[in-house]
Amino acid sequence: MGVAGLVVAASVVLSGCSSSTEPEPTSAPTASPTSSATPTPVAPGEVGVSPGGVTTAVGAPAESTEDDYFQACLAARTWMDQQGGDPKTQIEPYLKSVQTAESVGPGTFDERWSDLSPGRQSAVIVAVEAAADALCG
């Protein structure tokens, strides 16, 4: 089997590792304080909130198309570059800006943060973390 065949086989195996087999939360998400320096995973159905009141983690599988992810990552990276400094220190300020914005844009899949499902909110956070690591594509 060639390299391309191994890549295809690996992606088939990995795609079988979907989190869709996890039980759906039966109660409303609960808030857990998280540090702004290192995003901390939260349990399914929970929401991680920084001491500054910014949602920094959502206990739901990320849900976005590749194009949505790329656009959200690029929007976050552009914003971070405009701020200057270490992009990792810009994760929480950027998340705060998109969570409090009245307008919409590619950073939140052209929807207000409050209108996003937990899976879409999780996808935004994943894209922002990738932007801070310069992994947009």
pLDDT reported for residue 41: 81
- Among candidates 27, 28, 24, 60, which has minimal Cα distance to 41? 60
**Burial of 95 (C-beta count, 10 Å sphere; 0-12/13-18/19+):** buried
Q: State the Cα–Cα distance between residues 57 and 13, nearest whole angstrom.
A: 27
Taking only the tens of pLDDT, the chain with its 137 residues reads 433 333 333 333 333 333 333 333 333 343 434 434 455 688 999 999 999 999 999 999 999 999 999 999 999 999 999 999 999 999 999 999 999 998 899 999 999 999 999 999 999 999 999 999 999 98
What DSSP string runs through the chain? --HHHHHHHHHHHHHT--GGGSPPPSS--EEEE--SSS-----TTEEEE-TTS-EEEESS-----HHHHHHHHHHHHHHHHHH-S-GGGGHHHHHHHHHH-SS--GGGTTS-GGGS-HHHHHHHHHHHHHHHTT---
Distance separating the N- and C-terminal Cα atoms of the chain: 27
pTM of structure = 0.72
